[in-house]
Structure 1
């Protein structure tokens, strides 16, 4: 199917939601970076002017994405994945360091972040591998290779250091669950997170006691109904306790001080009130000011360009990771609810589009898009309102940044291109 035909059959509801989000996002970037000395929206020396330029580039990229044959994305997915890996490796030699992370290439007119391209390439490569007729996600060997596809770019990004971007790749594991990966792995993942957090909060001894009591209760309740696999339960207990014993070493020796401070603030690990307050004023300053900005907006907000905390630069980096706080202050509860609803509708629409695909590759890629957008959306808003620790993840289509906006746009419109072609016989 030609690009012109694809344009006619593109899902316009998704396009409307996309345009709504980037439009509202730009208004809030304009507000958070507005200067009375530079009132023109076309001033490309200002951040809002640059973002307007990036929006234009993203719109051009949509035309390119829709013009390519749908089969291109499946056929060249492996090559794109390899290129993304080479670009990530190149950062260790040619990368530019910004805010302590060597995550960008300096192209002169703008900084390019290859991890945004790697998200697209990994989603495509994973969909390609899983849709192969010889792949069975229930086999251990195929599970290993699927996990490896996800793990390689994450391992290349962590040392930059950029743990926030690396975390996004692990969201692609949800694609595996959609395609039949045993829920056992989800249980292991949740148990790992719970053991890690509870060990930091209460220590290994209490973790071991609680686990022992839970296993004993399970054995007591299930003893009469069926034969209980005692050996696997004991093995799980030993592994969980061993992992718990390693948590403090990882926390104190592997994590950087800024990461330890963020966990200390989030979980209230620091018992000294004075020291906790010092951490709150440094590492937790952004979140504290963000919470206050949203709280001050009330129900209706203070009005466009009327946010006192926004105009006073109380929230550092407000135009990037903390852009949602501008919505809260100037548009209030009504504004934040509108943004949350738009994102929710977009994600639900993408689920619908993914499920109606006739081709396994398109469906799996669709769920890859959903996973990436969902984790960005969930963590960013949770971070801004203080529910989750700060890890530097932008809000899709909303936060300032050319690489991010371009990456999310291409990610989304590849799915729309595949969807427009779903009835064709190349599938």
Structure 2
């Protein structure tokens, strides 16, 4: 089946329509978020909303080009793409432009900037899929696991050095790809336990948490006393957990900057917001709540109109949706994301080639992580870490990278009945 037939007949157009819907919603809400009465036209190229229109059009061109590529090319070029993005991440540390405290951007001139960390996401997904789909590679094998972990960890370290904690955290979501490919559930359980212990150790006195761990361990030991191997693992796990509990606060104090700790302390209720470190979040929550059921109407949001919420066209774009379109609009957007994620998983599961399936789960993991963190940040359930809402937040790098991420999967899916991409 040739490329033209694959393009017209085999592309998952339902996913394309969801993509277009989200891009359109983003465009109109960027217009609302930074509306300028001197430039009222949504197509005015001197404004952010005018530039977003250009980003959407160029994104569609990128998507079309990807759909016309050979599927085998996407697998073959993945190592080169990964190397290029890693080099860009190194370059940005030397010549990058600081925005919002992060040295994460390369200035291209003319008001345009490039954020390499965004493009590192699809490059990492491609190389990870290529490696895990190779013959004799099993994620349960320690060597294979370490190599796969290294593919994920390298860009994470470079992005952390910028420092861009939001993008760094997104790469952690790729653990779900490893889990789908056979990684033991114990790793997810252990990760969940460590996160829980870390948070509870910050909220409560360490000794209270240690006593709780000891009680749980004793009860578990009594119930499995005849299973000595499992009993041994439980005891070792308890010892490690207790050590981690006492290390939590030193790691927290030394691993994060003061303004980051202040934001987390406010979210966890450990301190009052006397320094107004939670101002952005508080204004975002007010904006979303004021929209009530049906919203105030397009361009009628007072929190939006008077710019109470900083970064409202980027990190806090969801509060514009909440204020002007209300609960109904917010649920509609969440529904579109849910539909998109379910569609991506469906596409991933119907692939004949392991490479395509693994890549599909990478796409789902990254988009899911972005949506959850961004919206949780906007409604006050997570500290502000600066992460865009996929296809909706303003920005060329973000929109293009998510477009490339998604359309590569659509291309692989359009050719699923043809060649094996692994």
Q: TM-score, normalised by structure 2?
A: 0.97
Instruction: Give the match for residue 274 of structure 2.
Output: 278
Counterpart check, 1:125 vs 2:121? no
Instruction: Give the match for residue 140 of structure 1.
Output: 142
Higher mean C-alpha displacement, 362-371 vs 187-196: 187-196
Q: Could you say what the CA RMSD is over the residues aligned between the two structures, in angstroms? A: 1.2
Q: Is this contact kept in 1: 2:107–2:113, CA < 8 A? A: yes
- Please list, as runs of the form range in 1=range in 2, the aligned pairs for 1:8-407 lying within 5 A after superposition: 8=8, 9-109=10-110, 110-223=112-225, 226-227=227-228, 229-270=230-271, 276-279=272-275, 281=276, 283-407=277-401
For the residues of structure 2 that align with 1:2 and 1:424, how far apart are their CA atoms? 10
Higher mean C-alpha displacement, 381-390 vs 243-252: 243-252
SS at the partner of 1:278?
coil
For the residues of structure 1 that align with 2:74 and 2:209, how far apart are their CA atoms? 47
Instruction: Give the C-alpha shift of residue 92 in structure 1.
Output: 1.5
Structure 1 residues 2 and 84, CA, compared in 2 at 3 Å: closer, same or farther? farther
For the residues of structure 2 that align with 1:235 and 1:294, how far apart are their CA atoms? 46
SS at the partner of 1:395?
coil
| Unpaired stretches in structure 2, ≥5 consecutive residues | none
Instruction: Give the match for residue 6 of structure 1.
Output: 6
Equivalent residue pairs, number? 419
For the residues of structure 1 that align with 2:2 and 2:127, how far apart are their CA atoms? 24
- Post-superposition Cα deviations, 1:264-305, rounded to whole Å, max 9, x if no partner, equal 0111112xxxxx1314x2x21111011111111111111101
SS at the partner of 2:103?
strand
Instruction: Give the match for residue 273 of structure 1.
Output: none
Instruction: Give the C-alpha shift of residue 253 in structure 1.
Output: 2.1
Q: Is this contact kept in 2: 1:362–1:418, CA < 8 A? A: yes
For the residues of structure 2 that align with 1:151 and 1:4, how far apart are their CA atoms? 38
For the residues of structure 1 that align with 2:323 and 2:129, how far apart are their CA atoms? 40
| Unpaired stretches in structure 1, ≥5 consecutive residues | 271-275
SS at the partner of 1:318?
coil
Q: TM-score, normalised by structure 1?
A: 0.96
